[in-house]
Amino acid sequence: MTIIIGLIIAGASLIGGFAALGGKVLVLWQPYEFVIIVGVALGTYVVANPLKVIRDTARAIGEALVHSVPKKRDYLDVVGVLYALMRELRAKGRNEVEPHIEDPDNSEIFRKFPSLQKHKPLRMFVCDYFRLIIVGNARPHEIEALMDEELETIARDKMKPYHALAVLAEALPAIGIVAAVLGVIKAMGAIDQSPQILGGLIGAALVGTFLGIFLSYALVTPLANNIKGVRERRLRPYIIVKQSLLAFMNGAAPQIAVEHGRKTINASDRPSIDEVENETMTHAVMASGDNVQELNQKGAA
């Protein structure tokens, strides 16, 4: 929504300011210059990027338009699942936890937290590292190194649309110059015409340069930065999982371990300690089938 509002403000200011200076707004209407610039830009984008990145770019633009980032409820579900699994592992052992991580689709714990249940990559991330913890051979620093490597790989894949659009934004001014040169060539072909006609052709050619710069700095670059911000926030749940599990492996109780993860959430979206204890932890205990009154006893054991 903010993207659309921003574009309306930018467009209105541009056209309104040009008209206030006495410019003829209709001169800016050069559809074929637009076709050349946008067509060449799309063509070079297809040449430079594999089909997977092109599809992911469309998905990333959609996420940016609706600002699809994790909300407080999503974070509560993440720490809720972590708490429930850590508590099961500490209180009952690996045999009770293995069915949940081996078949999360049918797990009563995962079913109680629908946002994480639907997020298959994150759910797999959680299950994979709980599986490593259950095996018991890996030490915390080894798990941390492995997590860092996987998170770097995930981030690199998620940021490909941003990097691709950033490169396109850098190329758009030059593509605008190409369109302007074609317009000048056309104008030179009418050099014997009247100054009024020749001036109109040259003005139309210069619109190409204007469009290339405008699309680069007023549309594609801001959109790429918005995509970067959205994708970074969508990666935050993975950091929560990492910090919580590392704290748990180093001996922290489940309540303390999820607090390590909670602290990595942006302040504007971060649930309070009371919210985590009263809602998420209680929900996790109910999901595991135990009595709520046992929360402090087994959680701190």
Predicted pLDDT of residue 26: 80
Q: Which of 52, 69, 41, 7 is nearest to 161 (CA)?
A: 52
Q: What is the tens place of the pLDDT at every residue in 58-95?
A: 999 999 999 999 999 899 999 999 998 998 888 887 88
Is pLDDT of 298 > 60?
A: no
C-alpha to C-alpha distance for 55 and 272, rounded to whole angstroms:
37
* pLDDT tens, position by position, 131-180: 988 887 778 888 999 999 999 999 999 999 999 999 999 999 999 999 99
Q: How far apart are CA 257 and CA 211, in angstroms?
A: 53
For the cut 80, the answer to whether the pLDDT of residue 97 exceeds it is yes
138: its two tokens? 């890996």
pLDDT for 194 equals: 80
User: What is the four-CA torsion angle of 46, 44, 215, 18, rounded to 10 degrees?
Assistant: -130
Q: How confident is the model at residue 41 (pLDDT cuts 50, 70, 90)?
A: very high
- Do the Cβ atoms of 110 and 117 come closer than 8 Å? yes
Q: How far apart are CA 112 and CA 126, in angstroms?
A: 15
The model's pTM is 0.85
- Lowest-pLDDT range of 22-26, 181-185, 222-226, 269-273: 22-26
Residue 235: φ, ψ to 5°: -85, -15
DSSP secondary structure letter of residue 281: I
Please say whether the beta carbons of 124 and 130 come within 8 A.
no
DSSP-assigned letters across all residues of 219-242: IIHHHHHHHHHHHHHHTHHHHHHH
Tell me which amino acid residue 101 is: I
pLDDT band at 261 (very low <50, low <70, confident <90, very high): very high
Judge whether 70 and 205 are in contact, CB under 8 Å. Answer: no
| H-state helical runs in the chain | 2-20, 31-48, 51-66, 72-92, 94-102, 108-111, 114-118, 120-135, 140-158, 160-188, 195-215, 221-234, 236-249, 254-262, 273-275, 282-288, 295-299
